Chains A and B, each alone.
Chain A
């Protein structure tokens, strides 16, 4: 295995309640190598998004990081000042969330939204930003002449691709994708993930890919971790997790996804 880009060591996160606390993440250890796609699976409330927010240092009260380290290239992100962290966010760690498409400013043309991010992080001029934006849009399959459009002129899938393009424009080492296609229909989902898979291959960034859909995860990830109630219960290569799952919960999750009839030629028993 290549050197780890990100190492999560012994991470524990609580949600503070009026009385006591809820342990959302319990001593989790995970590492992501350069150029690796690591999947994090589990049901709502299992702590997977809590980890994603912690890695981007976006945890907000009442979330409380009790213990642990999040090492990016050997530097503990949890020890950085907010100012230092601002240089890491977007520049080194990109983020694409489920509702990312709604994070575009409805009053700004797409070109301006690129410039906003690029100027801040790379100090580019308007022309340079435009040049980069054109390249990035092409990369995600959107015609560059649509840069002057507003977000509402795009479909949900296109908006999600625009956010991914903005994210890629800063050439981050790691992209956190938290249910990036859950709000979209399956065809658009495949369009986007095919693109991400190709871009990841050519540009060799790492991805922390979070979803509840194990089948989808198996199509794109190299390794995957399954979380249950704040703990990682199983971790391994996708092929191994698919063919020889060890933990009962992993087996349950695989079995929970409805399948199309086998080869679609022989009918399986209906419900």
Chain B
């Protein structure tokens, strides 16, 4: 049975999580894409879902955003259950509350319209701003918030902006309607390395300033640490290890977490030039162990949980 340390902590009693996933499962035909997913998103906090492609992390985001329906379990927004599909009358309030930004800054903006159009359209749809002038003011404000020169950026078309600037526009578009939840699915993986950090810093800042509950999806465990207070390591549709970011990274217990950490590029460690098969075989073995479905979750520390496997480290 999965329990959260926070279920009993005092902070939890004071503030209800904005989003709660309770034992969520998803099946695509015979494939178990998600099993027993249980976590909370809290205001002003970020939770990172980390794992390889196909592990189910984007499926989680799509279920929270009600793009797809879960096969089992509950999704709660501010304590009440969100039906899927959404009822038409719930659609708008829900979308205003839960916003997403995507991986590809090049395809997520319409090339035929200016930046002003993108943001004011979102405002219009969600009933922000009483008139045109008011909306324009808000557009400029939001662009300023994400570090773009409002007046200049607003009149530009997407192709006139760099990838990093476009991703800022996407963040601005999401924030313009003042959501309480921001789902960021690999927001920096298509950007150049030198601007990735700036975008992550921006996300961290708006999370604090706007008190956002943020879900940060990535395959890059190092950035997960920098953005999120909580890290959830996923593999084959299961949460294999989760808890406080630093604890998970500094005291990994699950074999897959250890494997993932061992593979983060490290300039101080040259690749071995002998016996590369050893690493390959070990990685294959760990994947096979970690793929086995297990219901046993063990609490290691105050905010540190790990799924039991034959190779979980309980030392």
A185-B53, A195-B280 known; A256-B265 Cβ under 8 A = no
A253 touches B193 (CB 8 A): yes
B76 at the interface (CB under 8 A from A): no
B280 close to A191 (CB less than 8 A): yes
Total inter-chain residue pairs, C-beta < 8 Å: 127
- Within 8 Å of chain B (Cβ to Cβ): is A213? yes
A267 vs B247: C-alpha distance when bound (angstroms): 10
Number of interface residues of A (CB under 8 A): 42
Nearest B residue to A259 via CB reads B222
Query: How would you classify the secondary structure of chain A's contact residues: helix, strand, loop or mixed?
Result: helix
For chain B, give the interface size range.
35 or more
A189/B263 contact (C-beta < 8 A), A197-B271, A267-B246 known: yes
A256 touches B197 (CB 8 A): yes
Residue of B nearest to A183 (CB): B53
Beta-carbon nearest neighbor of A193 in chain B: B271
**B124 CB within 8 Å of chain A:** no
Provided the pairs A212-B193, A218-B267, A271-B201 are in contact, do residues A187 and B273 lie with their beta carbons within 8 angstroms?
A: no
Contact status B267-A219, CB under 8 Å: yes
Please, which residue of chain B has its CB at the minimum distance from the CB of A260?
B222
Q: Specify which chain A residues have a CB less than 8 angstroms from the CB of B221 in the assembled complex.
A: 186, 260
Q: Mark B227-240, 1 if CB is under 8 A from A, else 0.
A: 10000000000000
**Contact among B193, B246, B267 for A261, CB-based, below 8 A:** B246
Q: How would residues 190 to 210 of chain A score, 1 for a CB under 8 Å from any chain B CB and 0 otherwise?
A: 110111011111000000000
Q: How far is the CB of B167 from chain A (nearest CB, A)?
A: 14
Residues of B within 8 A of A256 (CB): 193-194, 196-197
Q: Is A170's CB within 8 Å of the partner chain B?
A: no
Q: Which 3 A-B pairs have the closest CB atoms?
A: A218-B267, A215-B265, A185-B52
- Interfacial residues, chain B to chain A (CB-CB below 8 A): 52-53, 192-194, 196-197, 200-201, 204, 219-223, 225-227, 246, 249-250, 259-267, 269-277, 279-281, 283
Q: Which residues of A contact B (CB under 8 A)?
A: 43-44, 141, 156, 185-191, 193-195, 197-201, 212-216, 218-220, 238, 242, 252-253, 256-261, 264-265, 267, 270-271
